[in-house]
Amino acid sequence: MQPHLPVWVLVADASRARIFEVKIGSDVFELVSEFPHAGRGHNHHAGHAASETHSNKETGHDHFARELCQALTKGLNDHKCGRVVLVANPEFLGHLREVADHNLQKHISEAVHKDYTTLQPRELAERLRDHLA
């Protein structure tokens, strides 16, 4: 981890995600990227079995989690951030952890099991202050 670089905070669920940058010594959350889940809202044919639909949903969540992890890894590799804080509901946090490569995993300093996707940056700063120290 590189302590002089900003922290990137991923706030996500299975349908949307935002990456914020927080500079060292600051509590201002600056939006870096926003990701709507491309698979969201797709209709499944009524004839599909429930287990197949569930399997497709899981695959979509894994794909979205991979997309987010790739963005975080790129930020690390490009020296735009020195560590990462993940904020997601427990289920999606599990997807993120499963698909994160070794380099990303060693740069994750905190994992917060909360769905804060609807919060504004100021509210995020208040609720995550202790996780950024």
Amino acid residing at 98: E
Reported as a single tens digit per residue, the pLDDT across 93-107 is: 999 999 999 999 999
Residue spans of the domains in the chain: they are 7-132
What is the reported pTM?
0.84
Least confident of 53-57, 91-95, 119-123: 53-57
- What does the H/E/C string look like for 43-102? CCCCCCCHHHHHHHHHHHHHHHHHHHHHHHHHHHHCCCCCEEEEEECHHHHHHHHHHCCH
Question: 3-state SS of the chain: helix, strand, coil percent to 5?
Answer: 40, 25, 35
Q: What is 7-132's CATH number, 3.30.420.60, 1.10.10.10, 3.40.50.620, 3.40.50.2000?
A: 3.30.420.60
